[in-house]
Structure 1
Amino acid sequence: MQRMKIPAILLLCVFVTAGSWWTTSSRADEPTGELAQRLASVKFDHYSAAPGYSEGPTWRGGDVFFCSGALLRVTAPQQVHKYLEIGPAGTVLLGNGHMLICDNKHKALLDLAPDGKLGVVAERFEMETLLSLNDLTVDARGNVYWTDPEGSSLDKPVGRLYRVRPDGRVDRIATGLAFPNGIEVDPANKFLYVIESQSKKILRYPLPSDNELLGKPELFYDLGGSGGDGCAFDAAGNLWVADFHRPDTKTGR
């Protein structure tokens, strides 16, 4: 299963080279060479807007879907339509055209088929109802991972990570996180990257080959700023993180 590309509709992204070793610096190095040239040519457009807290964009066909109090569909710049009356927080498009949705209205991971039919992928762990579902990603074997930050903070790190296997089994694969948020599997399917917003860090877990629980994460990058939100890999294997930084007008940084 493959995640589809989405348009750049965020106003600010922090670029992190996924192949580099972690650093405790909260300031990214200035890009140089080919990367600097590519970034200089990037144009950001105010593609669309909606009331509320917008996140979880996914491109399907010629349309953009995103979450803001409901699942919204953008058919053209500034043309926003309400598509589903649910409580979505994150979306991911699969190679077969199905869209998976983290829905907090029904406390479930939903499957939206290309014909519009809506199904439930997961709604319980063991006998427990899921607390919250934030962002999600899929690996090459068809496992779906999502973050559950409900009730967590820096002083109360009780955030969780879940996985649902292709056969429908749900696993709680990590606990003890301070607001786990964005989540992505790298293109090589070796690591699971998680934005821990309250600690302002990017954590990296080695993906087990046998569907066991995740091991201890390593610190991949210290973001600073507001702590980061969503993230995505580009075709070159670079990790992009949505974050907010207030520049210093005296230094330009």
Structure 2
Amino acid sequence: MYLFKKGGVGNVKKKGLIGLILVVIFVVTAVLVGANSVKETKPVPSGERHDISEIVTAKAEWEKVAAGEEGFMEGVNFDREGDIWMVSPMSGELLKVEGEEIQHVEEFPSPVGAKFHKDGRLFMTDLTGVIHAYDPETGESEIAVSTYEGEPLNGLNDLVFDEAGGLYFTEPMGSSATHPVGRVFYLPADSTEPELFAENIAYPNGVAISADGNRVYISEFGKNRVLAVPALNAPPSPETPFVFGHYEGGIGPDGLAVDAEGNLYIAHFQAGEIVVQDANGFTSGTIRLPENAGTFTTNLAFHDGYLYITESSKNEVWRIEVEKEGVPLYGRQ
């Protein structure tokens, strides 16, 4: 008995080939759908793409919020009550603004970056290579992470939570423009074992997540630029790590913040200004600090219609009214 009729084997092979082609088309389509931001074509603008007036109006003026006496203020952010918290690696302090005064709260070895967890704890990177988790309610703290694959971490700098409660953090110490060995790690929620996220970076400083959650922005301080790297939970896409912005003057980008429309705000250290870029990397302009401020722009945060800045040469906190709202942070959820 014949298993196939005349021509049957050919038909089976033909059907198999068609099935394979359909699978390939499906996979390619899925990848392209997940890559709209890369493949999307937009009209070329006839004039300038942006103006800084989209971010700050002509009537907006800088206001000095508070001033400290010593230290090197960084890590400005807000708790749910709207209180300002900061850290100082030079004086080894956790700080809080009370009225117009900056008050000492607690001592840590060398805290640099700070972000609130939604459970109320404040997570702080430290130059000693650890992340502290401090509870403002009890005053107790613990080490959230201190090693990678059993080895101590080098000095840490900045950190940011993603929507799942995972934590990206930077490890710049020992790296530079001529020795680009800095790393960025990811600490999954409820874990003490970080994963390597990016490496071979010339002093990774600030870190932030795009408004859609698909990119991680990293300040490559040693090369005066910001990198954009696909986030671990980003959908499939042909987008690869790339240089998002390159800056003129100063030394390099420090802290980063993102607004709800996807614009990135870069604290440009030793330039005394904030650079603003849209989600496609085009520059809207710069917001320059007032003449009586210093140029050590270190960190920034959004709160109630204002952009807050720490300037570390004079240890001052400034704010300016902006037309955008900051992307909701994990600690305020």
Measured against the shorter chain, the TM-score band is 0.7 to 0.9
Query: Greater CA deviation, 191-200 or 39-48?
Result: 39-48
Using structure 2 for the length normalisation, give the TM-score.
0.59
* Corresponding residue for residue 245 of structure 2: 221
The worse-fitting range, judged by mean Cα deviation, of 224-233 and 238-247 is: 238-247
Show the counterpart of 1:13: none
Q: Which residue of 1 aligns with 2:102?
A: 80
Contact 1:62–1:75 (8 Å) recurs in 2:
no
Matched with 1:49 is: 68
- Residue 32 and residue 59 in structure 1: after superposition, are their counterparts in 2 closer, same or farther (change >3 A)? closer
Counterparts of 2:77 and 2:66, CA distance in 1: 13
Match of 2:230 in 1: 206
CA spacing shift, 1:96–1:246, aligned 2, 3 Å:
closer
Give the C-alpha shift of residue 101 in structure 1: 0.7
**Structure 2 residue corresponding to 1:31, chosen from 43, 47, 51:** 51
Kept after mapping to 1: 8 A contact 2:122/2:134: yes
DSSP-derived class of the 1:236 partner: coil
Equivalent pair of 1:48/1:74 in contact (CA under 8 Å):
no
Q: Secondary structure at the residue paired with 1:95? A: coil
The equivalent of 2:259 in structure 1 is: 234
In 1, Cα distance between equivalents of 2:124 and 2:55: 33
Q: Which amino acid aligns with 1:233?
A: V
1:112 Cα deviation after fit: 1.4
Specify the structure having the higher radius of gyration (Cα): 2
Secondary structure at 1:153 match in 2:
coil
Mean alpha-carbon deviation: is it higher for 217-226 or for 195-204? 217-226
Q: Which amino acid aligns with 1:63?
A: D
Aligned match of 1:187 = 211
Aligned to 2:147: 124
Letter in 1 for 2:120: G
Once the two structures are superposed, what CA deviation does each residue of 1:170-206 show, in whole Å capped at 9, x if it has no partner?
A: 1122111101101001121100000101111110001
User: In structure 2, what is the equivalent of residue 63 of structure 1?
Assistant: 83
Distance 1:231 1:40 in 2: 24
Provide the C-alpha distance between the structure 1 equivalents of 2:181 and 2:158, rounded to a whole number of angstroms. 16
Q: Tell me the SS of whatever aligns to 1:198.
A: helix
Alpha-carbon shift at residue 36 of structure 1 (Å):
4.9
User: Sequence identity of aligned pairs in percent?
Assistant: 28
1:14 aligned partner: none
CA distance in 2, matches of 1:89, 1:31: 33
Task: Give the match's secondary structure for 2:223.
Answer: coil
For the 8 Å contact 1:102–1:133, the answer to whether it is kept is yes
Matched letter for residue 74 of structure 2: E
CA distance in 2, matches of 1:58, 1:31: 27
For 1:177, the aligned partner's letter is: I
Secondary structure of residue in 2 paired with 1:121: strand
Deviations along 1:36-79, one digit per CA (max 9) or x if unpaired, are 53x642433252224122111112224221111211111111x1
Give how far 1:141 is off: 1.4
Q: Report how many residues are paired.
A: 218
CA 1:54–1:234: 2 relative to 1, 3 Å: same
TM-score scaled by length of structure 1: 0.77
Q: Distance in 2 between matches of 1:202 and 1:43?
A: 26
Contact 2:66 2:102 in 1 (8 A): no
Structure 2 stretches lacking a partner, 5+ long: 1-36, 41-47, 274-287, 289-333
1:172 corresponds to which residue? 196
Give the superposition deviation at 1:30.
Answer: 6.7
Contact 1:133 1:148 in 2 (8 A): yes
Report the more deviating stretch, 109-118 or 153-162: 109-118
Asked if structure 2 preserves the Cα contact closer than 8 Å seen for 1:182 and 1:229, the reply is: yes
Question: 1:166 offset after TM fit, Å?
Answer: 1.2
Q: CA deviation at 1:29?
A: 7.9
Name the structure with the higher helix share: 2
